[in-house]
Structure 1
Amino acid sequence: MKKLKILLVAILFLYLPLHSMAWGLLGHRIVGEIAGQHLTSKARKEIQKIFGAETLAMNANWMDFIKSDPSFKYLDVWHYVNLPQGLTAEQVDSFLKTDTAANAFNKIRFVAAELRKKTLPMDMKRMYLRILVHVMGDIHQPMHCGRREDRGGNDVKIKWFNKPSNLHTFWDSEFIEFQQLSYTEYAKALDHPTKEQVSAWQKTGLNNWIFESYQISEQLYEEAEKDQSFSYRYNFDHIDTLNEQLLKGGIRLAGLLNEIFS
């Protein structure tokens, strides 16, 4: 009985980090894979110096895996930015500029600035690049720009084909996994933006990227209040939003990396 209890505790410990992943394993790798296809030659060379033969996609989930190490506990709040309900674009912009808390917005800016330093040690370059790849994916998962009071939708209960879940977990992983594609298949299917789209998506800036996700989250909250039973209709209504957020995440990550390593 004692051994069984130890085993159950170990399983629970392993499960918790996975349960709170943004985009889940699959989503983060899709974002990383798309970004890798839009790097300049110079950015690609600089990233190879840091990651070696490993791709952006292969490193995209490090920040979730490291949750199993208590010494990295401080990174937990870097995955998201909580915003009050009902804000305009101007109010979100003001909130982001004045909020000094450790969150996805402030830490993307921080690690991007650190990566621009030519004298940054290689171990720190590797860590900060892994963080940037991951958190850029995070902010395109709408519920990572959700409300503090329900932990970004974690406390909003829903049912996915009658299976109990919550709004955050559903958008993290269940929605993507339902499409039954590998991350390389998914990336290839999505990665067909026009030059005009790439330019428009990259130039709008971090504040606007977060506001876009925030707007989507507000819509998702409103819909979940009316209907908590998700199935084929929900997939039909929201698959374009899911796919566009994954694609935008990859394109914008590539744009930021190209700028950092220019």
Structure 2
Amino acid sequence: MLHSKSSALFSFIALTSLIPSSLCWGSLGHRTVAYLASEYLTPNGSTYVANHLNDEDISEAALFADKVRHMPMFNYSAGWHYIDAEDDPPRQCGINITRDCAMQGGCIVSAIVNQTARIMNESTSHADRGQALRFLLHFLGDIHQPLHTEAGERGGNAIPVLFGNKHTNLHSIWDTDMLVKYAGAEEDEKANALTWAKKLYAADQDHARSLAAECQDLGKAAECSLLWAHEANKWICEYVLKDDVAGVENKDLSAEYYDGAVLIVEAMISKAGRRLAAWVNALAVHALESRLGSLNGLSYIEELILMQQDL
């Protein structure tokens, strides 16, 4: 029996759920961003996500990019998780897209632009649109992690630190250790992520206003993603490396440093979830408008009936 490209890709995506993910915002962080986004989705946005993910749990889909990045067939995506700002923290922080986004292979800003265009392209197969959405679910999380916007010391990976009794590195504690300490043990990752997401959603006093304020012009994907990257990068000078490398290197960062950092982590996770929802809602509107445009010759009532049948 011959299998279509789409069915083969769906089978591959299912298999990735068995593969441990590497650490970028950590699995807990990515699950929280995805669950928080789902709280802000419109009914049309929720349907759009369910259709493109084939009803896969949104937090599981958000881990896809990490799980495949080191596989030979996805080697091209390894550099999409970050942008290497060649700045000089704590003296000067900032991103220059022509300087910092790799000419060969791209960066997280170009990846968000390209995957947005890919999912909006009506000629893209359903399976490939699902893959593009999985990439977006992940990258809109990663772009809010400050050390994913910094080149120095390999984004903090080359800065040894302690976190309690654990020898680790600065990048890793921002990805995982601080989040786990704040939100709960890794063994209950899904439940802890969902609890954290609901807490963040409940803390927002005006959901509609917060969502409307976020960048969601699909035609300005580069401007939006660059804005998000700049916002994350400013924390490198303002907190992450405010005392330079010497201020954190080989030091235990599980107490005073953690107390300040976790406020930034929570704020950036919250923004990532809202911005992801606004982006997906906009994609869902675009898809609906494209579909309505293809219903030539039908009355308005007939169009509504067909939409309701799909929903």
**Contact 2:145–2:232 under 8 Å retained in 1:** yes
AA of the residue aligned to 1:222: K
Task: Give aligned pairs, total.
Answer: 244
- State the TM-score, normalized to the length of structure 2: 0.72
Q: What is residue 174 of structure 1 aligned with on the other side?
A: 177
1:199 aligns with 2:229: no
1:110-160, Cα deviation, whole Å (9 max, x unpaired) = 00011112231011011111001001111011110011x421110011111
**Distance in 2 separating the partners of 1:94 and 1:129:** 23
Matches within 5 A, 1:48-197: 48-86=50-88, 92=95, 95=98, 100-101=103-104, 102-147=106-151, 149-181=152-184, 182-191=192-201, 192-195=203-206, 196-197=209-210
1:210 aligns with 2:223: no
What's the offset of the Cα at 1:106?
0.4
Sequence identity (%): 24
1:32-71, Cα deviation, whole Å (9 max, x unpaired) = 0011111122222122111122232120101111135222
Q: Which protein is richer in helix relative to its size?
A: 1
1:68-111, Cα deviation, whole Å (9 max, x unpaired) = 5222111110111110114978x635547986441100010000
* Cα RMSD, aligned residues only: 2.4
What's the offset of the Cα at 1:190?
1.4
**Distance in 2 separating the partners of 1:24 and 1:170:** 9
Q: Classify 1:199/1:137 alpha carbon distance in 2 versus 1 (closer, same or farther; 3 Å).
A: same
Stretch moving more, 156-165 or 31-40: 156-165
Q: What is residue 279 of structure 2 aligned with on the other side?
A: 256
AA of the residue aligned to 2:162: K
- Return the match for 1:226 from 224, 243, 247: 247
SS at structure 2 position matched to 1:164: strand
SS at structure 2 position matched to 1:84: coil
What's the offset of the Cα at 1:233?
1.4
Stretch moving more, 210-219 or 29-38: 210-219
Q: What is residue 11 of structure 1 aligned with on the other side?
A: none
**Contact 2:86–2:100 under 8 Å retained in 1:** no
SS at structure 1 position matched to 2:40: coil
**Distance in 2 separating the partners of 1:145 and 1:92:** 8
**Distance in 1 separating the partners of 2:97 and 2:30:** 29
- State the TM-score, normalized to the length of structure 1: 0.84
SS at structure 2 position matched to 1:179: helix
**Distance in 2 separating the partners of 1:44 and 1:122:** 16
**Distance in 1 separating the partners of 2:41 and 2:230:** 25
**Distance in 1 separating the partners of 2:205 and 2:276:** 16
SS at structure 1 position matched to 2:162: strand
**Contact 2:115–2:133 under 8 Å retained in 1:** yes
AA of the residue aligned to 1:257: V
Larger radius of gyration: 2
AA of the residue aligned to 1:159: L
**Contact 2:145–2:175 under 8 Å retained in 1:** yes
Q: What is residue 45 of structure 2 aligned with on the other side?
A: 43
**Contact 1:36–1:55 under 8 Å retained in 2:** no
Higher relative contact order (CA 8 A, sep 6+): 1
